[in-house]
Amino acid sequence: MSCQIGVNPFFGANNFIKFLNSDIVAVEGPNTIERLIAGDVRIPYAQVLKGRIILKAGQTGYLMNNLGLGDNATFVAIIARYDAKSVNEEDNYLEYYYMDDLAKMRYMDQVMILTGNSFKRIPQLYFNNPNTTYKVTLDVMIAVIDDTYTFFTDTTNQSGMSFFGLQCNANVCNIETFITDESVVISSNTTPSNPLVYLVLQDISSLHRTGQILVVDENTAGRLYLEFISDADAKQAFSLLNYVSNTPGAIIQNLNPIIDIYSPISYFYQHLGNVPSAAFIEFNGATATAYDTTYGFTFSTSINFASYGTVVNSVLTLSKTDLNALIIATTSDNRDGVLILTDTNIVLKDYTSTVVDDIILAGTYSMSFNVSDIAGNSIDTNKKIILSIV
């Protein structure tokens, strides 16, 4: 049973509901209009606890584990006391959801009373304070009818929560910033959308993608399985969560575009090894500046084998690592930042277009890129650096 009562009297209303002795009464000015007699209500208990909880401004996903009684509570009474400076009624409410029904958001204002019995107990509650300016203080009384400690099976932490049919594409994205630099909300695809779960960014301990499923380990919500409608949507969601976790001030819904549509960029030195006296790295024969992969498709340079090669197992060799150091200043992405290239990110082919691991003979070779960002955007494999090894 849930009871949510009244509006705050400091808003100046003459009509309000209040507790009077053992009853709940409705008053109009000095007059009592209605009375709900509660003096005869008797709620048995074996254990009782009282406490105070402060929900800071904008706090999300606060687990009220019934003051230590966990899933066994049979009586919960909560009085919310809002900051005196918070004078707008629309700002003074709380969101809450049950541990075993995380997809359903509920609301309360000043008072909530929940009762159960030894067969139907009260699941633990999560609270959000949507007011990003003022805290809310909760005075709480919890009771349990007996000494039972294992009423609910903790399936949440054992098997995780799963949400299906999510999207993150140019048309719809079910992930939004809830509180900047603090939390995001995963919403449903319904119209209007409903919040499914809130994630505190600093509480995400791990995040990885398997196909179209994101697996998120979050300290409060536990393990979450977010299944998207496609691999592409899952990649974009993975990218967004990484981006807002590592970018101060980032607000997902303010990004334009929200999804990542830009490929990484490799930036070249103007001269080999960034040495002004060395050979130019050219673009279609031009040497005007230090180029990058956005300029076009065909770049070229000449490398003196004897000057830049190294002896490996008695063989003069130019490795991918050598070429990376000679040609590439840095590689970066608009969302993922600097990308560290390894040999797997470089593709070498000889004059017959046969893939080779290293260069051990003089001749003409091409160097291209196998580089993608988290969202799956790649440097075009047709962008090549023609290497004349002399």
Instruction: Give the H/E segment covering residue 79.
Output: strand 75-82
- The residue count for the chain: 390
pLDDT in the model for residue 101:
73
CB 154 within 8 A of CB 79: no
Please report, for residues 126, 127, 160, 324, 347, the alpha-carbon distance to residue 385 in angstroms, rounded to integers and kept in the order given: 56, 56, 48, 12, 11
Determine the Cα–Cα distance for residues 27 and 100; give it in Å rounded to an integer.
37
Determine the Cα–Cα distance for residues 378 and 357; give it in Å rounded to an integer.
21
pLDDT digits (tens, 9 = 90+) for 272-294: 999 999 999 999 999 999 999 99
* Peptide bond connecting 195 to the previous residue in cis, omega within 30 degrees of 0: no
CB 127 within 8 A of CB 99: no
How many other C-beta atoms can be found within 10 angstroms of the C-beta atom of residue 384?
A: 18
Q: Which two tokens stand for residue 14?
A: 């003459």
* Peptide bond connecting 123 to the previous residue in cis, omega within 30 degrees of 0: no
Question: What residue has token string 């009782």?
Answer: 48
Q: With a cut of 50, list the residues of the chain below it in pLDDT.
A: 1-12, 151-159
Backbone φ/ψ region at 317: left (φ over 0), alpha (ψ -120 to 50), beta: beta
pLDDT in the model for residue 7:
44
pLDDT in the model for residue 346:
96
Give the dihedral of Cα atoms 316, 320, 325, 329; nearest 10 deg. 150
Q: Where are the domains of the chain?
A: 2-150, 156-254, 265-389
HSE-up of residue 155 (Cα within 13 Å, Cβ side): 10
Please report, for residues 199, 226, 239, 248, 262, the alpha-carbon distance to residue 175 in angstroms, rounded to integers and kept in the order given: 10, 11, 11, 17, 20
The DSSP string of 278-340 is S-B-EETTB-SS--BTTS-SEEEEEE-HHHH-EEETTEEEB-HHHHHHHHEEEEEETTTEE--
The DSSP string of 163-205 is EEEE-BSSS-BSEEEEETTTEEEEE-SSSS--EEEEEEGGGEE
Class of domain 156-254: mainly beta
Determine the Cα–Cα distance for residues 237 and 245; give it in Å rounded to an integer.
12
pTM: 0.63
Q: Does domain 2-150 have CATH number 2.160.20?
A: no
Helix, coil or strand: residue 96? strand
| Residue 238 CB partners (closer than 8 Å, separation 6+) | 207, 209, 214, 374, 375
pLDDT in the model for residue 152:
47
